[in-house]
Amino acid sequence: MKNTIEIECPPEILMGLHLDAQRFAELVKLQSATALFRDGKLSSGMAARWCSVPRVHFLLQAMQSGAKLLDNTDDDFVRETALL
């Protein structure tokens, strides 16, 4: 099931960003997915699927925007090494 959310956007914003409505929607989706991932509310896999990009691609973009992949806690270490 696919849900669509409509957001009002003045044309000045699109013009100022040099984006059409489709590219702006993709930007908003990526920024939202990254913020939700950063806040721990969305997994990287789910965020990547939502943005239709490979997980590694999403993680690289998220890290470039300041998201941390690990908090360097003992739980993070156990979880990540269990995957090896």
Q: What is the pLDDT of residue 16?
A: 96
pLDDT band at 73 (very low <50, low <70, confident <90, very high): confident
Indicate the DSSP class of residue 3. -
Is the separation of the CB atoms in 66 and 31 below 8 Å?
Answer: no
Between 80 and 9, the more confident residue is 9
DSSP state of 75: H
pLDDT at 70 (0 to 100): 64
Q: What is the pTM of this model?
A: 0.75
Encode pLDDT of 1-25 as tens digits.
788 999 999 999 999 999 999 999 9
Domain chopping of the chain, boundaries: 11-81
